[in-house]
């Protein structure tokens, strides 16, 4: 794996060479990317009291347009200053997405390959921090959780999947309706290569924008039976809304996750564990550059061996240095109602994010 990091400069030079020769002529290849770096501190524990630098993401996104209707899109990620191989592995290098898309019409596009699951406002741009007001994703919807006593810690829904997806946009009576629906292997040992059970993960997202408005509401659905949760059926429903009034922005999401209860032998015992999460973010942009924001996160687990609910209040500022470079700082007040004691702590994060 180490050869990947060594080869990075050469790959980049080749890409820039190809991009320079194709982008200006036929515009059939486009290269995008992003970079971010964080500095954070928290008073959670002794280790957390050190300032920590995190070179979090360096991603390259390739958009190959084979013709007017067919394109191939892929994204490579180097996370946490990845070094792999040699026994001292740190960070991650991985293919976030690689898919081919065919556009039959505006109403019907077919996507095949590996893609980020279309769920909620953020998941399809899961790591693209230059597009976030905050540095971090809302924990209530996008963090990893232990959904039931015998399950592993994992995201509420699969971050990505390999399979097929249908996408389309309709405009009935000036309303704008966009749908995405998909079928993937679901999570497991080698989820982008094989499915280790007979059940496919299915899901979809629908967003609706009424005429003459600057916002939308949306619904997401996800259902899988994966080995990561010992084949317990996991069903999620998500609700989202975004609205802009001038430079005032509001976004909110709510999610309900229901997972089949299993025993220590991983057999269904009847009943479900239902967890709930929600957040709301409000921001206002001044001078087209300075965006103060607040966000409130709430998560209630479906079972509780350690805590009964979690809330986070985030107050921060996003400064747009240019159209593509953003400086952010935020303080997060974490409150967790532990069964044995209250456990509250604060985190402070500063970051710089650039879109390439």
x/- track of binding to other proteins for residues 155-174 (CB under 8 A): ------------x-x-x--x
Q: How far is the CB of 165 from other proteins (least distance, A)?
A: 10
Q: How far is the CB of 328 from other proteins (least distance, A)?
A: 13
Q: How far is the CB of 275 from other proteins (least distance, A)?
A: 26
Given 3-state DSSP classes, what are the helix, strand and coil percentages for the chain, each rounded to the nearest 5? 10, 60, 30
The distance between the two most distant Cα atoms of the chain, rounded to a whole number of Å, is 65
Give the integer Cα–Cα distance in Å for 322 and 80.
25
Q: How far is the CB of 130 from other proteins (least distance, A)?
A: 6
Matching residue, tokens 């059926």? 233
Q: CA–CA distance from 56 to each of 40, 101, 117 (Å)?
A: 12, 29, 21
Residue 73 binds other proteins, judged by CB under 8 A? yes
Residue 2 binds other proteins, judged by CB under 8 A? no
Residue 38, strand partner residues: 54, 351
Residue 24 binds other proteins, judged by CB under 8 A? no
Q: Which stretch binds other proteins (CB under 8 A): 242-250, 296-304, 309-317, 337-345?
A: 242-250
Residue 264 binds other proteins, judged by CB under 8 A? no
Q: How far is the CB of 326 from other proteins (least distance, A)?
A: 9
Q: CA–CA distance from 90 to each of 55, 79, 84, 85, 173 (Å)?
A: 12, 9, 6, 9, 53
Q: How far is the CB of 13 from other proteins (least distance, A)?
A: 23
Give the integer Cα–Cα distance in Å for 110 and 352.
36
Tokens of 100: 């081919």
Q: How far is the CB of 222 from other proteins (least distance, A)?
A: 17
List the one residue out of 106, 142, 146 whose CA is nearest residue 124: 142
> Considering only residues 305-344, where is the footprint of other proteins by CB under 8 A?
320, 323-324
Residue 243 binds other proteins, judged by CB under 8 A? no
Q: How far is the CB of 116 from other proteins (least distance, A)?
A: 7
x/- track of binding to other proteins for residues 94-113 (CB under 8 A): ---x-x-x-x-xx--x----
DSSP state of 228: G
Residue 23 binds other proteins, judged by CB under 8 A? no
Residue 320, strand partner residues: 326
Question: Nearer to other proteins by C-beta: 78 or 115?
Answer: 115
DSSP 291-335: EEEEEEEEEE-SS-SSEEEEEEEEEEEEEESSSSEEEEEEEEEEE
Residue 178 binds other proteins, judged by CB under 8 A? yes
Matching residue, tokens 């924001």? 293
Give the integer Cα–Cα distance in Å for 269 and 223.
19
Residue 115 binds other proteins, judged by CB under 8 A? yes
Q: Residue 356's CB: how many other CB atoms inside 10 A?
A: 13
Q: How far is the CB of 255 from other proteins (least distance, A)?
A: 19
Q: CA–CA distance from 300 to each of 143, 223, 258, 262, 340 (Å)?
A: 13, 20, 12, 20, 17
Residue 75 binds other proteins, judged by CB under 8 A? yes
Binding-site size, other proteins (CB under 8 A): 46
Question: Nearer to other proteins by C-beta: 304 or 320?
Answer: 320
Sequence length of the chain is 356
x/- track of binding to other proteins for residues 283-302 (CB under 8 A): --xxxxx-------------
Give the integer Cα–Cα distance in Å for 338 and 66.
55
Q: How far is the CB of 59 from other proteins (least distance, A)?
A: 8
Residue 76 binds other proteins, judged by CB under 8 A? no
Binding residues (CB under 8 A) for other proteins: these are: 27, 30, 32, 34, 61, 63, 68, 71, 73, 75, 97, 99, 101, 103, 105-106, 109, 115-116, 124-125, 128, 130-131, 167, 169, 171, 174, 176, 178, 209, 211-212, 214, 244, 246-247, 285-289, 320, 323-324, 355
């Amino acid at each position: 794996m180490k050869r990947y990091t060594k080869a990075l400069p050469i790959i980049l030079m080749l890409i820039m060479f190809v991009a320079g020769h194709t982008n200006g002529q036929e515009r059939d290849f486009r290269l995008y990317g992003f970079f971010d770096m964080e500095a954070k501190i928290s008073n959670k524990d002794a280790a957390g009291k050190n300032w920590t630098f995190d070179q979090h993401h360096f991603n390259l996104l390739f958009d190959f347009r084979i013709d007017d209707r067919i394109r191939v899109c892929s994204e490579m990620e180097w996370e946490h200053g990845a070094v792999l191989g040699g026994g001292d592995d740190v960070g991650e290098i991985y293919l976030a997405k690689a898919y081919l898309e065919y556009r039959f019409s505006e109403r019907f596009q077919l996507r095949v390959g590996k893609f980020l699951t279309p769920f909620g406002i953020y998941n399809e741009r899961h790591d693209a921090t230059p597009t976030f007001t905050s540095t971090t994703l809302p924990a209530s919807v996008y963090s990893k959780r232990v959904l039931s006593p015998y399950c592993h810690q994992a995201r509420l829904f699969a971050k990505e999947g390999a399979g097929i997806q249908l996408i389309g946009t309709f405009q009935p009576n000036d309303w704008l309706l966009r749908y995405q629906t998909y079928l993937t292997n679901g999570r497991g040992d080698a989820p982008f290569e094989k499915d280790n059970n007979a059940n496919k993960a299915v899901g979809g997202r629908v967003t609706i924008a009424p005429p003459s408005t600057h916002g939308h509401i949306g619904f997401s659905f996800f259902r899988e039976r994966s080995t990561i949760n010992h084949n317990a059926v996991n069903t999620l429903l998500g609700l989202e809304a975004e609205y802009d009034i001038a430079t005032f922005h509001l976004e909110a999401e709510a999610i309900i996750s229901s997972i089949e209860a299993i025993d220590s032998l991983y057999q269904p015992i009847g009943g479900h564990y239902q967890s709930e999460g929600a957040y709301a973010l409000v921001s206002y942009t001044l001078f087209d550059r300075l965006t103060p924001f607040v966000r409130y996160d709430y998560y209630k687990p479906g079972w509780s061996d350690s805590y009964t609910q979690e809330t986070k209040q985030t107050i921060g500022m996003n400064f747009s240095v240019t159209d593509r470079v953003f400086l952010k700082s935020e303080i997060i007040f974490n409150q967790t109602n532990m069964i044995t004691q209250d456990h509250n702590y604060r985190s402070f994060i500063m970051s710089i994010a650039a879109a390439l």
